[in-house]
Amino acid sequence: MGKGILGRKVGMTQVFDEGGNAVPVTVIQAGPCHVVQLRTVDRDGYEAVQLGFQDRPRRLASRSERGHVAQLESKRQKARAAAGVASSAKAGCEPKRWIRELRGPVEGYQVGQEIAVDTLAEVAAVDVTGVSIGRGYAGPMRRHNFSGQRASHGVKKVHRHPGGTGCSAFPSRVMKGTKMAGRLGGSRVTARNLKVVRVDLEHNLLLVRGAVPGPTGAFVVVRETNKVG
Amino acid sequence: MDQKLIELVESVHHRKEPLQFAVGDLVDVHTKIMEGDKERIQIYSGTVISRSGSRGREMFTVRRIVAGEGVERKFPVHSPRIDKIVVKRSSVVRRAKLFFLRDRVGKSVRLKERREKTVEK
The CATH superfamily holding the domain A4-134+187-224 is Translation factors (2.40.30.10)
In chain A, where the domains are located: 4-134+187-224, 135-184
A:B CB pairs within 8 Å: 47
Domain count for chain B: 1
Does residue B63 lie within any of the structural domains?
A: yes
The answer to whether the CB of A191 falls within 8 A of the CB of A128 is yes
- Three-class DSSP category at A216: coil
Chain A touched by B30 (CB under 8 Å): no
Mean pLDDT of A96-112: 87
**Chain A: residue whose CA lies nearest to B55:** A13
pLDDT of residue A144: 94
Return the residue of A nearest to B82 by Cα. A20
**Chain A residues with CB inside 8 Å of B13's CB?**
15-16
B57 contacts A207? CB cut-off 8 A: no
The answer to the question of residue B21 being in a domain is yes
Q: What is the ipTM of this complex?
A: 0.75
Which range marks the domain in which residue B71 is found? 2-92
Cβ-nearest to B5 among A14, A16, A29:
A29
Pick A86 or B20 by higher pLDDT.
B20
Q: What is the DSSP string of A116-172?
A: -GGGGTT-SEEEEEEEPPP-EEE-HHHHH------SSTT--S-TTS----S-BTTB-
Q: Residue B121: what pLDDT?
A: 55
Task: Give A181's pLDDT tier (boundaries 50, 70, 90).
Answer: very high
Please give the mean pLDDT across all residues of chain A.
89
- What CA–CA distance (Å, rounded) separates A137 from A188? 17
Mean per-residue pLDDT for A154-164? 91
Would you call B81 and A20 a contact, using CB atoms and an 8 Å cutoff?
A: yes
Tens of pLDDT, residues B60-91: 999 998 888 889 999 998 888 888 899 888 88
Nearest C-alpha in B relative to A199: B9
- Give a yes or no: residue B113 inside a domain: no
* B121, part of any domain: no
SS3 A80: helix
Is A202 touching B (CB cutoff 8 A)? no
pLDDT > 60? residue A170: yes
- Cα dist. B97→B49, B51, B63 in Å? 6, 8, 12
The pLDDT, as a whole number, for residue B119 is 63
Q: What is the pLDDT of residue B118?
A: 65
Q: Which of A59-63, A88-92, A185-189, B65-69 has the lowest mean pLDDT?
A: A88-92
In a domain, residue B34? The reply is yes
Give pLDDT, residue A120. 85
Nearest Cβ partner for B13 among A10, A15, A207? A15
Confirm whether B87 is domain-assigned: yes
Cα B86 to Cα A96, A220, B43: the distances in Å are: 55, 46, 10
User: What band does A128 get if pLDDT is binned at 50, 70 and 90?
Assistant: very high
If you average pLDDT over residues A182-196, what whole number do you get?
Answer: 93
Average pLDDT score over residue span B112-117: 75
Whether residue B97 lies inside any domain: the answer is no
Does residue B11 register a pLDDT over 90?
no
